Chains A and B, each alone.
Chain A
């Protein structure tokens, strides 16, 4: 079974890092995973994005037309990738920066204030971790525990100091939807 993710936002939101953490967490779970940055002409235009394919068995194919999950941190990314979600798929959006619209009826929408969560924790930069937390809470394939391990793997040396704050952001993101209910 293969599951595809697109992570997108604007430069500085830590999208590629979030993707790297996600990919590492899949690797630590023993799955096959491929991460690639949107590469080429698509790099232009202000948004940054990467695609991740996780698979239980074989290495995946590349350049998917559609994705199971889109995690978007800004409006531009929402507008672009809402059309790349498979019917029945899910778009997970940062409601702090994305308007809560539903242009398609055949996909699921999740809105959570990722940037706000990060700001409340005192550091807007951890919105990406809050985003991964939200993603883990709605996507059975992604586990919060392995995300934390993935973060540790990526952040070596001095950057380890950032671990507690990032774990807090991850937890807050993970719990936000349950709280809202």
Chain B
């Protein structure tokens, strides 16, 4: 069932967990937090049967550092958590990025700031994309919009993490984690990555290896950071991915990430029926962000409306990409009920009416 082409009705959280198993995740470390606890529950039942590692960590801080330890030996490992607890993991992500360790972290977002509540939100765009840890580093961030994509991008997350030796965040949200949809696991489509040149396996027949971020030599540290960013340029070149719909003749392009993508697609159809030439653009990799493509579309005079469940976090990146070449409006609600298709349609009409001189914020 879970590695075949048969469709199964499955929750996003379980889908991610099973996909991790299929991707060869050898160890899972986690601490419970709604709305992603099912991932740990599922794996606590499966991993021992497969002879793989599972630890109920004492904290999220411990969990992610266990991942750091595990992946340093060349195996695939992951943790999962949600917003406020992902904040606790930022230190380790900064280390892992500097140490070039293939950490995989699933963040099933909930509302903040602070404790917030368990209803869904998209307030971790910044935390994921710009990083909440210290120093200059970059994380690869993948944002699924369906349960099927939860599976597909989990496979991709493990692959990219090892291919580029860089931490990857799978950025889902409470809705995706809790919803059930028919999905197909298939087989992990990505090739195995050779980790033998750097993995810690004991210094047998080779020199010992040390993985650390301590940079006492200023000049070397400068070069190290340049190298990290050069690597990320390669990642941006090879891996930036997005989807677009009916942008060719569009006057206005609705832009969203994650599960909000579904609603802008539906809103686009309604707007088209009303005679408004709307298109859709959806970054799949939030980092690297598809600046180039948005810039191209803006250069063709296409305006944008960014629809998101936060105070305009991705909006800033879209605006940066557009760089004054066209206009952009924000349609948002900070947390809670996803902006409905009706709300989006109404907001787009208002924004167009006011020549993008306004943002539409729903309460």
Interface presence of B263 (CB below 8 A): yes
The 0/1 profile, CB within 8 Å of B marked 1, for residues 36-70 of chain A is: 11011100000000000000001111111100000
Query: Is B181 in contact with A59, judged by CB distance below 8 angstroms?
Result: yes
Q: With a CB–CB cut-off of 8 A, which chain A residues contact B336?
A: 40-41
Interface presence of B137 (CB below 8 A): no
Query: Is A34 in contact with B179, judged by CB distance below 8 angstroms?
Result: yes
Query: Is B120 in contact with A40, judged by CB distance below 8 angstroms?
Result: yes
CA–CA, A101 to B39, complex, Å? 43
Interface presence of B14 (CB below 8 A): no
Q: With a CB–CB cut-off of 8 A, which chain A residues contact B262?
A: 59-62
Interface presence of B35 (CB below 8 A): yes
| Contact pick for A39, options B9, B175, B182, B339, CB 8 Å | B175
Query: Is B9 in contact with A58, judged by CB distance below 8 angstroms?
Result: no
Residue of A35, A60, A61, A64 contacting most chain B CB atoms (<10 Å): A61
Query: Is A34 in contact with B265, judged by CB distance below 8 angstroms?
Result: no
Q: For the complex formed, measure the closest distance between the CB of B180 and the CB atoms of chain A, giving whole angstroms.
A: 4
Interface presence of B178 (CB below 8 A): yes
Interface presence of B118 (CB below 8 A): yes
Q: With a CB–CB cut-off of 8 A, which chain A residues contact B265?
A: 58, 61
Query: Is A41 in contact with B119, judged by CB distance below 8 angstroms?
Result: yes
Query: Is A40 in contact with B118, judged by CB distance below 8 angstroms?
Result: yes
CA–CA, A153 to B8, complex, Å? 9
Residue of B262, B265, B336 contacting most chain A CB atoms (<10 Å): B262
The tally of residues in A whose CB lies under 8 Å from a CB in B reads 22
Q: For the complex formed, measure the closest distance between the CB of A107 and the CB atoms of chain B, giving whole angstroms.
A: 18
Interface presence of A76 (CB below 8 A): no
Query: Is A34 in contact with B263, judged by CB distance below 8 angstroms?
Result: no
Q: For the complex formed, measure the closest distance between the CB of A141 and the CB atoms of chain B, giving whole angstroms.
A: 16
Query: Is A40 in contact with B182, judged by CB distance below 8 angstroms?
Result: no
Query: Is B181 in contact with A41, judged by CB distance below 8 angstroms?
Result: no
Query: Is B181 in contact with A33, judged by CB distance below 8 angstroms?
Result: yes
Query: Is B181 in contact with A40, judged by CB distance below 8 angstroms?
Result: no
Residue of B117, B182, B265 contacting most chain A CB atoms (<10 Å): B182
Query: Is A40 in contact with B119, judged by CB distance below 8 angstroms?
Result: yes
Interface presence of B337 (CB below 8 A): yes
Q: Of all chain A residues, which has the CB nearest B344? A: A61
Interface presence of A23 (CB below 8 A): yes
The 0/1 profile, CB within 8 Å of A marked 1, for residues 261-293 of chain B is: 011011100000000000000000000000000
Q: With a CB–CB cut-off of 8 A, which chain B residues contact A34?
A: 179-181
Q: For the complex formed, measure the closest distance between the CB of B140 and the CB atoms of chain A, giving whole angstroms.
A: 24
CA–CA, A124 to B178, complex, Å? 28
Query: Is A63 in contact with B337, judged by CB distance below 8 angstroms?
Result: yes
Interface presence of B146 (CB below 8 A): yes
CA–CA, A58 to B341, complex, Å? 14
Q: Of all chain A residues, which has the CB nearest B339? A: A63
CA–CA, A39 to B259, complex, Å? 15
Q: Of all chain B residues, which has the CB nearest A25? A: B9
CA–CA, A40 to B110, complex, Å? 10
Q: Of all chain B residues, which has the CB nearest A64? A: B340
The 0/1 profile, CB within 8 Å of A marked 1, for residues 251-266 of chain B is: 0000000010011011
Q: Of all chain B residues, which has the CB nearest A40? A: B119
CA–CA, A33 to B182, complex, Å? 7
Query: Is B179 in contact with A36, judged by CB distance below 8 angstroms?
Result: yes
